[in-house]
């Protein structure tokens, strides 16, 4: 038994239980009540002791899950001076810099909120941009799920697999993923309209794609626009099966349906966001990072 108490927030209770089991720690759940006006009321189902680990993913509804995280952290702080906050998925991490004039760098405010609520350390799984970590004034660590995701594909019978990043910005992730599998990797050239969000693939063609199974690797899939365009492009190059792999499967709206329609055989993600695609467990790497 470690000296941690793990508090599972409403968005991450199952993952928090797994982490508590790995740490051999006490687990405390939360009772969530939502009032008719939309307010959240959180009640801890026990009294924590020792160091406290708050586990709460900030996925949609993002604002509600963020406020619940802050509320739990604040309550935990009344029991301990050491409150570690685990954010399996960190909402607002994409708002880490000013892309257009007048835009607010929201992650900077979120970082200040977490500190003000009483967090002494923050752990995030595959944050969208490490630039976001620079806005924290308390220790903030990124945990990579790439190896755990790659292990899942290592068990699959793939034909001459090729790891592909849907854009140049994810080339390092693709490189690391491919290294664990011992296969090749490449990256497409993507362009996104900052105002409309529309995605286009600028790559004209790729050598060595024909007949090969493809693993499209990204940190997150939200609306699925990038994956759809990449899958359509790769299918035109006469690739084999195309698999979409990500840490965080937000899959907003018809994203999953559109991805499958574009020719993707299967979507595989981590359990940072619970759902039917979240088959890869990240509790081992979280427990290891904390200890």
Bridge-based pairing of strands 214-221 and 121-125 is unpaired
Please identify which of the residues 26, 51, 121, 190 carries the catalytic annotation: 190
CA distance 175 to 182: 10
Confidence of residue 129 (pLDDT cuts 50, 70, 90): confident
Confidence of residue 195 (pLDDT cuts 50, 70, 90): low
CB 164 within 8 A of CB 227: no
Residue 236 scores a pLDDT above 60: yes
Range of lowest pLDDT (1-5, 27-31, 189-193): 189-193
CATH architecture of 146-271: 3-Layer(aba) Sandwich (3.40)
How far is CA 248 from each of CA 64, 210, 270, rounded to the nearest angstrom?
A: 18, 28, 6
Whose structure tokens read 């939200």? Answer: 222
Q: What is the pLDDT of residue 191?
A: 66
Strand order in the sheet with 214-221: 184-187, 162-165, 214-221, 242-249, 264-270, 278-280
How far is CA 271 from each of CA 226, 231, 235, 261, rounded to the nearest angstrom?
A: 21, 23, 28, 24
What are the pLDDT digits (tens) for 247-271? 999 999 999 999 999 999 999 999 9
- The whole-number average pLDDT for the span 233-239 is 92
Can you name the CATH fold of 4-144+282-290? Rossmann fold (3.40.50)
Q: What is the pLDDT of residue 92?
A: 96
Q: What is the pLDDT of residue 114?
A: 98
- The whole-number average pLDDT for the span 15-41 is 97
Bridge-based pairing of strands 4-8 and 26-28 is parallel
- The whole-number average pLDDT for the span 108-135 is 96
CA atoms 93, 145, 216, 280: torsion sign: negative
Bridge-based pairing of strands 51-55 and 83-87 is parallel
Confidence of residue 208 (pLDDT cuts 50, 70, 90): confident
Residue 273 scores a pLDDT above 70: yes
Confidence of residue 204 (pLDDT cuts 50, 70, 90): low
Q: What is the pLDDT of residue 241?
A: 97
Whose structure tokens read 């000296």? Answer: 3
Tally Cβ neighbours within 10 Å of residue 139: 12
Give catalytic status of residue 190 as yes or no. Answer: yes
Residues 6+ apart with CB under 8 A from 160: 211, 212, 213, 240
**In the chain, what percentage of residues exceed pLDDT 70?**
93
CB 142 within 8 A of CB 124: yes
Domains 4-144+282-290 and 146-271 share a fold: yes
DSSP string for 157-214: --SS-EEEESSGGGHHHHHHHHHHHT-EEEE--EEE-TTT--EEE-----TT-TT--E
What are the pLDDT digits (tens) for 3-24? 899 999 999 999 999 999 999 9
What are the pLDDT digits (tens) for 41-58? 999 999 999 999 999 999
Closest to 13 (Cα-Cα) out of 45, 56, 49: 56
Q: What is the pLDDT of residue 62?
A: 97
Domain ranges of the chain: 4-144+282-290, 146-271
Average pLDDT, the chain: 94
Range of lowest pLDDT (20-24, 113-117, 168-172, 283-287): 168-172
CA distance 286 to 46: 23
């Amino acid at each position: 038994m470690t000296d941690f108490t793990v508090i599972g927030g409403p968005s991450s209770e199952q993952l928090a239980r797994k982490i508590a089991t790995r740490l051999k720690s006490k687990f405390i759940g939360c009772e969530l009540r939502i009032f008719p006006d939309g307010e959240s009321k959180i009640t801890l189902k026990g009294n924590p002791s020792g160091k406290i680990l708050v586990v709460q993913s900030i996925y949609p509804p993002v604002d509600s899950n963020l406020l619940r995280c802050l509320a739990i952290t604040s309550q935990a702080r009344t029991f301990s001076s050491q409150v570690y906050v685990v954010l399996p998925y960190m909402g607002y991490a994409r708002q880490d810099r000013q892309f257009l004039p007048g835009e607010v760098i929201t992650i900077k405010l979120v970082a200040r909120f977490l500190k003000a609520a009483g967090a002494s350390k923050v752990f995030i799984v595959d944050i969208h941009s490490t630039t976001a970590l620079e806005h924290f004034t308390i220790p903030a660590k990124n945990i990579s799920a790439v190896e755990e995701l790659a292990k899942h594909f290592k068990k699959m019978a793939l034909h001459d697999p090729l790891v592909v990043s849907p854009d140049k910005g994810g080339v390092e992730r693709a490189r690391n993923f491919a290294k664990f599998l011992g296969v090749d990797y490449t990256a497409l050239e993507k362009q996104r309209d900052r105002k409309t969000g529309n995605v286009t693939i600028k790559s004209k063609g790729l050598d060595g794609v024909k007949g090969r199974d493809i693993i499209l690797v990204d940190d997150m899939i939200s609306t699925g626009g990038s994956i759809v365009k990449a899958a359509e492009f790769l299918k035109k190059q006469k690739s084999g099966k195309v698999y979409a792999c990500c840490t965080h499967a937000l899959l907003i709206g018809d994203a999953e349906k559109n991805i499958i329609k574009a020719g993707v055989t299967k979507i595989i993600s981590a359990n940072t966001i619970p759902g039917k695609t979240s088959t890869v467990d990240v509790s081992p790497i979280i427990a290891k990072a904390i200890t």
